[in-house]
Structure 1
Amino acid sequence: MVAQGDLVKVFYKEKIIEGLLMPEDNSEFTFLKMSSGYNIGLKTSSVKKIELLKKKFSLPKKNEIIVLKKDLPTISILHTGGTIASKVDYSTGAVIAKFSESDILKLFPEIELFANIKSHLVRNMQSEMIRFAHYNLLAKAVEKEIKAGAQGIILTHGTDTLHYTAAALSFALENINVPVILVGSQRSSDRGSTDAAVNLIAAMQFIVNSDFAGVAICMHENFNDENCLILPACKSRKMHTSRRDAFRPINTSPIARVNHEKKQIVFLSDYNKKVNYNGLKLSLKLFNDKLKIGLLKAHVNMFASEFLAYKDFDGLVIELLGIGHLPTMKVDEFTSENDKLLKAVRELVKNMPVVVAPQTIYGKIDMNVYSPGRQLIQSGLIGNYTDMTPETAFIKLAWLLSNHKKDVKELFSKNLRGEISDRSEKEGFLI
């Protein structure tokens, strides 16, 4: 009699396929995890026979350490949902977030080889639904696991706003002295093309075999499954809707490359080490979840009313054009509205911090190059000479208003968590 987690041989149509027998949530399909780390679904009606090859892994109960081994570190997996914890609803063809935290362990039983695993469900939701209150919830969950003895944290997360959460936790977890790695996937975990297994295993290996401390992201380096990149929390971005290597470092290099098959880690840039935080205590600096922060993209044919729509907000991020431009000058009979834009910006600045980020994503803001830009500086816009992504600027502004409201102007342009580059490097473009 075969059971979930057993190594089996499946006689399927005219083929013989070996793999780990996965949970059967849909009797129409039989799921196997292949040695490559991929999962495949076989139509049950075409399965002639299943033979047991080896009793391999005993599957854990919910919120239970799989195997307690004194010589292995303890890593906590905090589950929030997203594609990495999704499956295909075969009745509709849609991808739904359904797996609980125990399902994660059933899907990836090999991760118990690296560490003692604790798994907790924080939320099961798509990442686009996240609000500031969830960042506080996650920060408190991380703190709880660290106090309980976890030497590292893996946070499973949907990819759409993973870079927002990475930045938020980087700011909220002050003096974090363990690795906190956010992991997602672009393909649901029960699809043959899933990148979930490789990303999760690479993150696990990086935590166990490095001295890194802080928040980072672990995702595929390219199309194949050979390497994953460890990316800086505040200088990374999702740059493609569906590619498995969608997450890229912005204006910087990756922290490290992990080859999960060779169990090899190559550091590619400077990073925070655990030893740097000896004697420092983790402190939570949480978000005011009532804040209203706007994010406005500059474009042609703008109207002053677009800016004034944010007059009741607590702060605003403007994605400037090019090196730092807004259409604020009247140059002919068609551009009289541009004068009103500058007046609208000045009106906003009276009541809230208005900060800037480059719409180009890459490169540094320099509003001193042209006279219209100098007008923006004189009007009170904050963030000249910074190269934060718009998303990181959004998170940083919210965090500063939550914790250092009187010092926003000074601190926004100061590098606090590696979000601002000391200098521009050609290696940081289109990696």
Structure 2
Amino acid sequence: EILVPGNLHSEWLNQVPEIARLAEIDVEIPFNMDSSNVSIAEWEILVDIVGRKMDRYDGFVIIHGTDTMAYTASALSFSLLNLRKPVILTGAQRPLARLRSDARGNLIDAIQVATMDIPEVAVVFGQSVLRGNRATKNSISSYKAFVSPNYPSLGKIGLNVELFRENMLLTPRPFRIDRGFSDEVVALYIFPGSDPRLFFPLLDSGTKAFLLIGFGAGNLPENDRSWIPFIEKATGKGQAVFLASSALHGRVDLELYAGAQEAARAGAVGVKGMTREAALVKLMKLCATYDDAGKIREYFFTDRAGEIEP
């Protein structure tokens, strides 16, 4: 059976009527699509809606497909800066109308959390409250589909909602909106035997930044399939090169292995403990503002919404 987006409005009202007891809820459906089709245009729509209505509501819940939820959460966190109110993303592994669906519980949890004092973009899923730009999907089949591998959770949900305020963002700066994303970013997954020469044409494609997903703490091959010439050519052309890890947990450290050290000497920089989704979306945000690779590198390591450690 093929999964397709459902009639959300009627499903919520008919199958989860108790959500009306949690809050006074207005529903808006700006688009209804498989989340694999959600991209820059949809991020901008959500930023615009939440930004325009920030003063009208105490919190926001965005129901989103799980496949790209972490990307959208990162995009919102980098655009809705210095939040004072919760912006919550949730969804389900099984549709609401299905037997044993997790949609009902996730929706109730998300709406309840959205009534609380959480000044962040967060993912509420599988009885966990996670910082949006620290969350990543790690399971296709588990009801606990999202984890925050390198940052503690913001809360957990059982008989009660327990929030961990020491893990939340606190900022005295006023709320502001930073619009814009660029598609001039390329992510490349490095695997044993991958031939970097196949990707050399990308160096002349107008790409501003590359995210290379390497091994372990940012290691790369050093043999005849070395990626160092690719990095050298990219940086020589004024393109920024960042190294992430194929592993979820831990921090990229380009001082740890010889291959990573060579990459750093060639001009690559590691993404520290950022998720791949957050790193990629942050580059899309920065490349919408800056053309200079030095500026992109500089501001990549400037924390915007708790996405990166010092």
Tell me the TM-score normalised to structure 2 length: 0.92
Letter in 2 for 1:265: E
2:208 is aligned to 314
Q: Identity of aligned pairs, percent?
A: 26
Q: Given the alignment, which residue of 255, 265, 268 partners 2:154?
A: 255
Q: Is the 8 A contact 1:254 1:269 kept in 2?
A: no
Tell me the CA shift for residue 268 of structure 1.
7.2
Tell me the CA shift for residue 237 of structure 1.
0.7
CA distance in 2, matches of 1:175, 1:414: 14
2:242 is aligned to 355
CA RMSD, Structure 1 to Structure 2 (Å): 1.9
Tell me the CA shift for residue 102 of structure 1.
4.5
CA distance in 2, matches of 1:307, 1:214: 38
1:237 is aligned to 136
Q: Given the alignment, which residue of 181, 185, 194 partners 2:92?
A: 185
Q: Is the 8 A contact 2:217 2:245 kept in 1?
A: yes
Paired residues, number: 305
Q: Is the 8 A contact 2:153 2:167 kept in 1?
A: no
What SS is found at the alignment partner of 2:25? strand
Q: Is the 8 A contact 1:253 1:269 kept in 2?
A: no
Is 1:342 aligned to 2:248, yes or no? no
Q: Give deviations 1:257-276, integer Å, cap 9, x for gaps.
A: 123xx343242751125xx4
Tell me the CA shift for residue 101 of structure 1.
3.1
Is 1:375 aligned to 2:262, yes or no? yes
What SS is found at the alignment partner of 1:119? coil
CA distance in 2, matches of 1:169, 1:363: 24
Letter in 1 for 2:246: Q
CA distance in 1, matches of 2:103, 2:75: 23
What SS is found at the alignment partner of 2:109? helix
Q: Given the alignment, which residue of 211, 217, 238 partners 2:123?
A: 217
Q: Given the alignment, which residue of 17, 28, 52 partners 1:109?
A: 17
What SS is found at the alignment partner of 2:20? helix
**Bigger share in helix:** 2
Is 1:94 aligned to 2:2, yes or no? yes
Relative contact order (alpha carbons < 8 A, sep ≥ 6): 1 or 2 greater? Answer: 2
Tell me the CA shift for residue 305 of structure 1.
2.2
Q: Which runs of 5+ in 2 are unaligned?
A: none
CA distance in 1, matches of 2:212, 2:285: 17
Letter in 2 for 1:319: I
CA distance in 2, matches of 1:218, 1:382: 32
What SS is found at the alignment partner of 1:399? helix
Tell me the TM-score normalised to structure 1 length: 0.67
Is 1:118 aligned to 2:31, yes or no? no
Q: Give deviations 1:358-385, integer Å, cap 9, x for gaps.
A: 111211111112333222111111236x
Q: Give deviations 1:175-204, integer Å, cap 9, x for gaps.
A: 221100001100000012111111111112
Q: Give deviations 1:59-109, integer Å, cap 9, x for gaps.
A: xxxxxxxxxxxxxxxxxxxxxxxxxxxxxxxxxx33221214354233321
CA distance in 2, matches of 1:415, 1:348: 25
Q: Give deviations 1:147-175, integer Å, cap 9, x for gaps.
A: 3x110000000000000100110001112
CA distance in 2, matches of 1:401, 1:151: 32
Tell me the CA shift for residue 144 of structure 1.
2.1
Q: Is the 8 A contact 2:83 2:119 kept in 1?
A: yes
Is 1:142 aligned to 2:40, yes or no? no
What SS is found at the alignment partner of 2:26? strand
Q: Is the 8 A contact 1:382 1:413 kept in 2?
A: no
Letter in 1 for 2:134: K
1:286 is aligned to 179
Q: Is the 8 A contact 2:120 2:131 kept in 1?
A: no
Q: Which runs of 5+ in 1 are unaligned?
A: 1-92, 221-227, 331-335, 423-431
1:396 is aligned to 282
2:168 is aligned to 271
Counting only pairs closer than 5 Å after superposition, residues 16-27 of structure 1 correspond to structure 2 as none
Counting only pairs closer than 5 Å after superposition, residues 43-58 of structure 1 correspond to structure 2 as none
Q: Is the 8 A contact 2:254 2:269 kept in 1?
A: no
**Bigger share in strand:** 1
Q: Is the 8 A contact 2:254 2:270 kept in 1?
A: no
CA distance in 1, matches of 2:50, 2:41: 14
Q: Given the alignment, which residue of 404, 411, 415 partners 2:303?
A: 415
